[in-house]
A and B are shown apart, each in its own frame.
Chain A
Amino acid sequence: MGKRGGGSGSGASGYGAQWGRSAAATMPGAAERGSELSEQIEAFVARLRGGGERPRSEDTARQTLSLLRKIIAHGRWSRAGELMDLIRTEGQRMTAAQPSETTVGNMVRRVLKVIREEYGRLHGRSEESDQQESLHKLLTSGGLSEDFNTPYPPLKANVIEAINELLVELEGTTENIAMQALEHIHSNEVIMTIGYSRTVEAFLKEAARKRKFQVIVAECAPFCQGHEMAVRLSKENIETTVMSDAAIFAVMSRVNKVIIGTKTILANGALIAVSGTHTLALAAKHHSTPLIVCAPMFKLSPQFPNEEDSFHKFVSPQEVLPFTEGEILAKINVHCPVFDYVPPELITLFISNIGGNAPSYIYRLMSELYHPDDYEL
């Protein structure tokens, strides 16, 4: 139930037609808005799938939230349960389009959690009781599951209000992380980073306003985003050195701290980050250099690493070996992975917009951000 009118699959179209008839009398133009909405979703999915020009996670998060807000505002639902089904169906489609963009799924889970909370509040349950499900409570309470079937007219407005707050929160994440820079970077330190991350850039720039330090950037071949990072840092008068990824281990002994960004933080505190990061983390571990990961909360994803889930993304090997090398291509396999898996034991500290945390604490943050029932969409 709750599919967009004729949007996906043939099953939905008959249903949508019925709806269209009954709805036409009461709210003219609803069908139009519905199709406009599904076009927007379609365009968003297509954009994700194309995934050419490396979208910023923050932009993706914002776009996902605005799209979900539109679905809530214009979608056909009357009860919280229907709304959650609707969000879940669309969320699945959006996440399936580009599994490596975990931000999309995270935002869908945040919205589901918001709906649960708002429903709970209207249902007259205090937030506290919901949050802290103690062992005792689990034992004593009978049927825990709610049906979300009571219609509450103010629900829509409340949920939209809460999503707007989320959007405001998104705005400030990078600054919040950068504000903590002075606690971690000291004068005359040698900092190492890899590739390009906006969060790390802001973090280093903030520290450079007060302190003098040196940055070594690993170029992160074959895309070499490290070059861009170096250019941006040197514009702020930070002493910057670029070097090849192969030299990471060699220079690690001189490095005081490694500060990196990431694409995703997994539920076990591991990272999915640009390829090359694993090498960097292992080298740091070998030299007992602290490894600090700057990542906003929306990158926390309640998923665990496994073989089937394709977090990894392999793009065209063009950058590794140009196609013009025609003759050898028949004989060899060329791969161009975009991401590395970095296990949690190599990470010293996470710095997020709400402060610093150890990898072992990630599970706790996860349970605050998302409802356990939503881990699987």
Chain B
Amino acid sequence: GPCEGPAPTAPPEERPFGTGGPAAGGGGAGLGRRRGAPEEPPPPLQAVLVADSFNRRFFPISKDRPRALLPMANVAMIDYTLEFLTATGVEETFVFCCWKSAEIKEHLQKSKWCRHTSPNTVRFVTSDLYRSLGDVLRDVDAKSLVRSDFILVTGDVVSNFNISKALEEHKLRRKMEKNDDIVIAMDSATSRVLHYQRTQGLKRFRFPMSLFQNSIENVEVRHDLLDCHISICSPQVAELFTDNFDYQTRDDFVRGLLVNEEVLGNQIHMHVTTEEYGAHICNLLMYEAVCSDIIRRWVYPLTPEMNFTDDKNQSYTHSKHNIYRGVDVSLGHGSVLQENVLIGQGTVIGSNCSITNSIIGQNCRIGDKVILDGAFLWDRVHIADNVEICHSVICDEAEVKEKVKLKPRCVLSSQVVVGPGITLSEGTVISLHPPDEEEDDDDQFSDDSGVNKQESKVKLKGYNKKDVGSEGRGYLWKANDKNEEDEEEQRQSLWGEEKFSVEESESDSDLSMGSEEPDSRAASPQLDDIKVFQNEVLGTLQRGEEENISCDNLVLEINSLKYAYNIGLKEMMQVLSKVILEFPLQQLDANLDSQNYFSALVPLLKNWTPLFKNYIKRASDHLNALFAIEEFFLEHESLCTSIAKVLMTFYQLEILEEDVILNWFSLRDTSDKGRQLRKNQRLQKFIQWLEEAEEESSDGDQD
């Protein structure tokens, strides 16, 4: 696609080391029968918003406030996400909350999303039991919340994408191959994701050779992409999570799907966008970067003065050098706002301050001669005189006393007090929660770790005056634990992040749906293998018939055979059809008569319908099955007369679809025998009947 940049040339050091992949999922869509059912109007677009990160990257900040509610440019992250969804045309959003769900709920209920005029209906699903994204999606499936394609995002995505194009592509793909795949967020044209790897500081990567041996022509390796965690999913995604209870995260899912692509026939596509902005706030440096981007208007129209949340306290004026001022802001004599500054409502700033590249929340008090450079102050923060703060985050109601200096990357979480007169070294993290409390806590999956029960413990310990100053309150968090490694990763992605999402990994850039697949796989397995495989399948089915084994188990056995002999989907289809059609021949021995044959076949077909449905998903599968049927009847000319009945049975059992049958029938490039076969009277009658039925149904649509 034109939007794919010449990425691979960029030296890796300068690039963000794209993290994960946007896309995802997929699932085999059952082929519903269309006959007679008039096309329904497209169902409303739905979204699943997961308002929990299921990790503790933002500790200790997220102990006091769920990540989705962290303010970015004084607006909660989740508001950006919802605005993005609404602008995309989502009409119904399910918000899944776990950690601090009550706070999230309260926030949203007060926001414009819950007003009756909101075009996007927000519904809450709360449970303390969710431990991962997998749990959430399994619940989506269990409650059958989604009816059609949906968008999956986390509550910390800031974006001004218009994903309608990606959606269109997704729908188109679904139409072409009825079974489908999920596009993880954005991908370009038809790019399918073949391999996917997080870089996480690795300098060497391994790619399986098979990637390049396949007959797909172009494989592109990209490592310059940033995953913005927006996924467009087919409803089957949720089902797949249910089927594979070991999937915990999206990464598991993507990996699992890529590995099992052949088995399940699901694909992942990605969409790369270079025009718009999208980011997933996964760590503090990312937070800082995205905040500055908002102030610098990269996310237009989601800029502060637009007040998209429609909140009276959030009205700002925008003046030159990107200075945003709320209502009732007072600025002392001699204080200078240099550039890229946002000041929330009711904040009072003393005299002779110098403020640049900073965001200041509502109702803060800032003293005289304060220097703020890259400071992110949340609401009601108190800063005394002569304080210097550089590239740090200071949370709600924290207090910084006189003459304190904060070096870069310090974090003061809620209600912490530091000072007076101390200097916090680089990367200091101070919280009211003692750092060791979490060690007793084995639950590492969610943001929460039983904060409340630790409350009493806190009081037992005194604050270390060396760390926080003589009047300080708070505990020093070791800077070298996991935050450190996050920061390592963060530092790399700080400015390199492109505004687009998506995977690093290779995506092959040209791959037209449907057609390429049979070709690419056909060459691989040896003919002998197919023969042996066919015998094995026959044996399996015989046993199934004798011992009355359920279809599910048969599928399992056939799947493992398929693996053992390395059989592609196309061969699989042909072998299966052939074996089943030949099945009655053995029972009937020499007594070949089309009437007998047919009556023996029908109960078998009925029994094994689920078997077929499991494998026949795409239009190409249908066609393959039909070819196998055709081949069979060409080999057994005496049975030719029953072909129409057999097809009819397949059709009635909803294994084959009418348009595919018609399609097959009208194929011109067949052998002479094939043409002969098509002249069979009964077959022609059957086709005619199908055509008429279709016309009727399309007439019905018009009414």
- Give CA–CA (A43, B120) in the complex, Å: 11
Residue B171 at the A interface, CB < 8 A?
A: no
Q: Smallest distance from the beta carbon of A259 to chain B beta carbons, Å?
A: 30
Determine the main DSSP class of A at the interface with B: loop
Name the interface residues of A335-366: CB closer than 8 Å to any CB of B.
Answer: 335-336
A333 near B301: Cβ-Cβ < 8 Å: no
Residue A317 at the B interface, CB < 8 A?
A: yes
- Give CA–CA (A301, B167) in the complex, Å: 41
Of B251-259, B359-367, B495-503, the one with at least 4 CB within 8 A of chain A? B495-503
- Give CA–CA (A52, B299) in the complex, Å: 12
Residue among B301, B303, B317 with the highest chain A CB neighbour number at 10 A: B301
Name the interface residues of B295-326: CB closer than 8 Å to any CB of A.
Answer: 296-301, 303, 305-308, 310, 312, 315, 317-319, 321-322
Residue of A nearest to B303 (CB): A314
Name the interface residues of A15-72: CB closer than 8 Å to any CB of B.
Answer: 35, 38-39, 41-43, 46, 49-52
Q: Smallest distance from the beta carbon of A11 to chain B beta carbons, Å?
A: 11
A49: chain B residues within 8 A (beta carbon): 301, 306, 308
B298: chain A residues within 8 A (beta carbon): 316-318, 323
Residue B277 at the A interface, CB < 8 A?
A: yes
A50-B119 contact, Cβ under 8 Å, with A326-B495, A329-B495:
no
A315-B499 contact, Cβ under 8 Å, with A39-B117, A42-B119, A310-B305:
no
B339: chain A residues within 8 A (beta carbon): 333
B86: chain A residues within 8 A (beta carbon): 46
A315 near B300: Cβ-Cβ < 8 Å: yes
A52 near B301: Cβ-Cβ < 8 Å: yes
A42-B275 contact, Cβ under 8 Å, with A49-B301, A314-B297:
no
- Binary per-residue interface labels of chain B (216-235) against chain A in the complex, 1 for a CB within 8 Å, 0 otherwise: 00000000000000000000
Q: Smallest distance from the beta carbon of B482 to chain A beta carbons, Å?
A: 26
Residue B668 at the A interface, CB < 8 A?
A: no
- Give CA–CA (A61, B300) in the complex, Å: 24
B119 near A316: Cβ-Cβ < 8 Å: no
Residue A327 at the B interface, CB < 8 A?
A: yes
Name the interface residues of B325-365: CB closer than 8 Å to any CB of A.
Answer: 339-340
A318-B275 contact, Cβ under 8 Å, with A42-B117, A326-B16, A333-B340:
yes
Residue B116 at the A interface, CB < 8 A?
A: yes
Residue of B nearest to A93 (CB): B310
A316: chain B residues within 8 A (beta carbon): 160, 277, 297-300
Q: Smallest distance from the beta carbon of A15 to chain B beta carbons, Å?
A: 15
Residue A324 at the B interface, CB < 8 A?
A: yes
- Give CA–CA (A104, B162) in the complex, Å: 25
Name the interface residues of B93-136: CB closer than 8 Å to any CB of A.
Answer: 116-119
A7: chain B residues within 8 A (beta carbon): 117
Q: Smallest distance from the beta carbon of B320 to chain A beta carbons, Å?
A: 8
Residue A142 at the B interface, CB < 8 A?
A: no
Residue B443 at the A interface, CB < 8 A?
A: no
Residue of A nearest to B224 (CB): A324
Residue A1 at the B interface, CB < 8 A?
A: no
Residue A250 at the B interface, CB < 8 A?
A: no
Residue B274 at the A interface, CB < 8 A?
A: yes
A329: chain B residues within 8 A (beta carbon): 495
Residue A308 at the B interface, CB < 8 A?
A: yes
Residue of A nearest to B275 (CB): A318
- Give CA–CA (A74, B121) in the complex, Å: 25
B319 near A307: Cβ-Cβ < 8 Å: yes
A324: chain B residues within 8 A (beta carbon): 5, 274, 498-499
- Binary per-residue interface labels of chain B (236-274) against chain A in the complex, 1 for a CB within 8 Å, 0 otherwise: 000000000000000000000000000000000000001
The number of A-B residue pairs with CB atoms under 8 Å apart is 86
- Give CA–CA (A39, B91) in the complex, Å: 14
- Give CA–CA (A51, B301) in the complex, Å: 8
Residue B530 at the A interface, CB < 8 A?
A: no
- Give CA–CA (A307, B319) in the complex, Å: 7
A323-B301 contact, Cβ under 8 Å, with A317-B296, A333-B322:
no
Residue B145 at the A interface, CB < 8 A?
A: no
Residue A330 at the B interface, CB < 8 A?
A: yes
Residue A6 at the B interface, CB < 8 A?
A: yes
- Give CA–CA (A7, B496) in the complex, Å: 43
- Give CA–CA (A140, B274) in the complex, Å: 68
B322 near A323: Cβ-Cβ < 8 Å: no
- Give CA–CA (A363, B421) in the complex, Å: 61
B497: chain A residues within 8 A (beta carbon): 326
Q: Smallest distance from the beta carbon of B67 to chain A beta carbons, Å?
A: 24
B308: chain A residues within 8 A (beta carbon): 49
A322: chain B residues within 8 A (beta carbon): 274
B340: chain A residues within 8 A (beta carbon): 333
- Give CA–CA (A179, B310) in the complex, Å: 44
A315: chain B residues within 8 A (beta carbon): 297, 300-301
- Give CA–CA (A39, B115) in the complex, Å: 10
B312: chain A residues within 8 A (beta carbon): 9
A6-B301 contact, Cβ under 8 Å, with A314-B318, A322-B274, A327-B14:
no
Residue B585 at the A interface, CB < 8 A?
A: no
- Give CA–CA (A333, B296) in the complex, Å: 8
- Give CA–CA (A329, B86) in the complex, Å: 29
B276: chain A residues within 8 A (beta carbon): 318
Q: Smallest distance from the beta carbon of B297 to chain A beta carbons, Å?
A: 5
Residue B87 at the A interface, CB < 8 A?
A: yes
- Give CA–CA (A39, B116) in the complex, Å: 8
Q: Smallest distance from the beta carbon of A313 to chain B beta carbons, Å?
A: 9
Other-chain contact of B119, A46, A317, A327, A334 (Cβ < 8 Å): A46
Q: Smallest distance from the beta carbon of A191 to chain B beta carbons, Å?
A: 34
B297: chain A residues within 8 A (beta carbon): 314-317, 335-336
Q: What are the 3 closest A-B residue pairs judged by CB atoms, nearest first?
A: A316-B300, A42-B117, A326-B496
Please name 7 further chain A to chain B contacts, defined as beta carbons within 8 Å, in addition to the given A42-B117, A96-B307, sorted by A numbering: A49-B308, A317-B298, A324-B274, A324-B498, A326-B498, A333-B322, A336-B297
Identify the A interface with B (CB < 8 A): 6-9, 35, 38-39, 41-43, 46, 49-52, 96, 307-308, 310, 314-318, 322-324, 326-327, 329-330, 333-336
What are 16 residue pairs bridging A and B, where the CB atoms are less than 8 Å apart in the complex?
Answer: A8-B310, A52-B162, A307-B319, A310-B305, A310-B318, A314-B322, A315-B301, A316-B298, A317-B298, A322-B274, A323-B277, A326-B16, A326-B498, A330-B494, A334-B296, A335-B297
